């Protein structure tokens, strides 16, 4: 095992908390004025959950028990499996694009036409995706394949230095296909997913070697291109969705802080307000949920472990006819305050509170911090192959705490299946 390096071990939580605190500060100090209910309660709650995330992570780092397994990330079996899932995922990806893009033909021209439409008019393809109803037999098969396809990108990036050139090329192709899929759907969030998956998988693959970003020209250039590209597409797609080419038309009539009106141009504060709303508006809805929880006129909120994400709620309703939605904060805030959960976020915390109340949320966040650290350590010191995709899953879950329960809502099946395999390898040392 490599010599331990506390600075590298603590890197993910420092980066994650820096980002989350940035979104929280932006909520209170950005151009848009949010009139949050009980702002002091909101601040206190955010301090508590951030602290619990950090303490849970730090506790696991301090007490982490290494379980070298028969399936370490650098073992021959792991490399063979990585090659197999890379080939499989690259072959399956066009089928998933065909379903997600709602194409009527599997021809090359149909794919190109849809991609160009996504570039030209992100609003149209995004609305098409949101209006998608029902599912086909093919889409059901693709869902069942997600435990394999979900693993391909992080495992490919993690092991890229140990792969031969053809397989390295497959990793690059898979990254490009993921980006193309995002652009064809007009979904900005999935682009950030790709950046998180590639970034965390690559960093974990380096082990405890010191990493100086700005002395590594290739990594620096890749990061700059990714961030600039994401910001450009974010602004461009926002303009498309709003139906205007004038960025100063955003949030017309909204309450703008006087300091921005006085000292900055409309182009600047409207651009910043656009980013602020995306990253921070959920805290306004979180404040409303906290106010509802503390009020005397309470609604019954309890969902028996099924209400922490949209996937299990929908599956329970669709296949068992049990609708727990009326017992969620999302439903209560919709009926009482007109919150449209399909258009606005409310952070991950009310989702968790659906099952454990807001009193239980800090304990769950503490546990999330421990899992985040555990998977990072297993990747860093190469003790469990299945920790690689689980690290990506936790990175997305933690980073998107400002939005919703992104991890389980969109990756429930792969998380459960890969989590089971991880636990099996860890406890029985069997593949």
| pLDDT tens readout for residues 398-428 | 999 999 887 887 889 999 999 999 998 887 6
Confidence grade of residue 9 (pLDDT, cut at 50, 70, 90):
very high
Averaged pLDDT for residues 56-74: 85
In this prediction, residue 160 carries a pLDDT of 94
Q: 242 vs 237, which has greater pLDDT?
A: 237
Q: Is 220 helix (H, G, I), strand (E, B) or coil?
A: helix
- Report the alpha-carbon distance of residue 45 to residue 27 in Å, rounded: 14
* Interacting residues of 84 by C-beta distance below 8 A, sequence separation 6+: none
Is pLDDT at 98 greater than 70 in this prediction?
yes
How far is Cα 420 from Cα 238, in angstroms, rounded to an integer? Answer: 39
Report d(CA 222, CA 218) in Å as an integer. 6
pLDDT of the residue at 351? 95
For range 23-28, the mean pLDDT = 97
CA distances from 269 to 26, 34, 261 (A): 12, 15, 8
Split at pLDDT 50, 70, 90, the class of 2 is: low
CA-wise closest residue to 93 among 203, 191, 182: 182
DSSP state of 257: -
Q: How confident is the model at residue 231 (pLDDT cuts 50, 70, 90)?
A: confident
CB 403 within 8 A of CB 348: yes
pLDDT confidence of residue 207:
80
Task: List CB contacts of 322: < 8 A, sequence separation 6 or more.
Answer: 316
pLDDT, residue 339, reads 84
Q: Measure Cα distances from 77 to 69, 70, 126, 366 in Å.
A: 12, 9, 40, 34
Percent of the chain with pLDDT over 90: 59
Torsion of CA 292, 294, 296, 297, to 10 degrees: 10
Euclidean distance between CA atoms 367 and 374, whole angstroms: 10
**Which residue in 231, 280, 397, 232 sits closest to 28, CA to CA?**
280
What are the φ and ψ backbone dihedral angles of 32, each rounded to 5 degrees?
-75, 135
pLDDT of residue 225: 81
Contact 284, 38 (CB under 8 A): no
Closest CA to 299 of 274, 337, 328, 339: 328
Asked if the model's pLDDT at residue 72 lies above 90, the reply is no
Q: Higher pLDDT residue, 305 or 128?
A: 305
Chain centroid offset of residue 283 CA: 17
Q: Under a CB-based contact definition with an 8 Å cutoff, are residues 117 and 237 in contact?
A: no
Q: 350 is written with which tokens?
A: 């009310």
Question: What is the Cα–Cα distance from 15 to 70, expressed in whole angstroms?
Answer: 31
Question: If pLDDT is split at 50, 70 and 90, which confidence band does 302 have?
Answer: confident
The residues, any chain, with a CB within 8 Å of residue 254's CB and separated by 6 or more, are 32, 33, 273
Q: What pLDDT was estimated at residue 190?
A: 86
Residue 45 is predicted with a pLDDT of 98
Q: Is 276 exposed, middle or buried (0-12, 13-18, 19+ CB in 10 A)?
A: buried
- Report the alpha-carbon distance of residue 201 to residue 388 in Å, rounded: 7
Distance of CA 254 to the CA centre of its chain: 29
Q: What is the dihedral of CA 285, 290, 296, 298, to 10 degrees?
A: 70
Residue 85's pLDDT band (cuts 50, 70, 90): very high
Residue 61's contacts (CB-CB under 8 Å, 6 or more residues apart) are 6, 9, 10, 373, 377
Read off the pLDDT of residues 135-171 as tens digits, 9 standing for 90 and up: 678 888 999 999 999 999 999 999 999 999 999 999 9
Nearest to 414 by CA among 396, 378, 383, 389: 389
The predicted pLDDT at position 228 comes to 80
What is the average pLDDT value for the chain, to the nearest integer? 89
119, 126 contact by CB (below 8 A): no
């Amino acid at each position: 095992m490599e010599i331990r390096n506390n600075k590298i071990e603590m890197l993910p939580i420092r980066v994650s908390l820096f980002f989350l605190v940035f979104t929280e500060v932006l909520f209170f100090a950005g151009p848009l004025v949010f009139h949050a209910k009980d702002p002091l309660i909101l601040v206190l709650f955010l301090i508590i959950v951030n602290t619990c995330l950090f303490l849970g992570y730090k506790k696991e780092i301090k007490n982490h028990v290494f379980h070298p397994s028969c399936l370490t990330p650098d073992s021959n079996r792991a490399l063979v499996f990585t090659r197999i899932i890379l080939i499989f995922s690259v072959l399956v990806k066009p089928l998933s694009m065909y379903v997600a893009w709602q194409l009527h033909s599997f021809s090359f021209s149909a794919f190109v036409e849809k991609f160009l439409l996504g570039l030209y008019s992100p609003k149209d393809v995004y609305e098409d995706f949101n209006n998608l109803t029902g599912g086909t037999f093919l889409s059901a098969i693709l869902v069942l394949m997600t435990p394999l396809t979900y693993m391909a990108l992080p495992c490919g990036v993690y092991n890229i230095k140990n792969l031969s050139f053809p397989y390295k090329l497959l990793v690059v192709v898979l990254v490009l296909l993921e980006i193309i899929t995002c652009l064809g759907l007009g979904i900005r969030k999935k682009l950030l997913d790709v950046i998180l998956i590639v970034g965390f998988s690559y960093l974990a693959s380096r082990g405890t070697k010191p990493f100086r970003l700005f002395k590594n020209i290739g990594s620096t250039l890749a990061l700059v291109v990714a961030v600039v590209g994401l910001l450009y597409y974010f602004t461009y797609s926002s303009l498309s969705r709003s139906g205007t080419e004038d960025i100063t038309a955003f949030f017309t009539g909204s309450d703008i802080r006087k300091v921005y009106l006085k000292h900055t141009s409309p182009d600047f504060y409207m651009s910043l307000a656009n980013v602020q709303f995306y990253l921070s508006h959920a805290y306004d809805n979180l404040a409303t949920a906290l106010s509802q929880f503390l009020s005397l006129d309470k609604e019954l909120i309890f969902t028996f472990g099924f209400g922490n994400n949209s996937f299990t709620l929908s599956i329970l309703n669709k296949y068992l006819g049990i609708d727990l939605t009326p017992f969620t904060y999302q439903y209560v805030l919709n009926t009482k305050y007109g919150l449209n959960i399909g258009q606005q976020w409310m952070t991950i915390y009310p989702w968790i509170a659906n099952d454990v109340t807001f009193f239980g949320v800090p304990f769950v966040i503490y546990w999330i911090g421990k899992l985040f650290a555990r998977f990072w350590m297993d990747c860093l010191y190469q003790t469990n192959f299945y920790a690689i995709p689980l690290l990506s899953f936790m990175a997305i879950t933690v980073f998107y705490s400002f939005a919703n329960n992104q991890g389980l809502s969109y990756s429930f099946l792969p998380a459960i299946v890969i989590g089971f395999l991880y636990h099996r390898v860890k406890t029985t040392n069997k593949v």
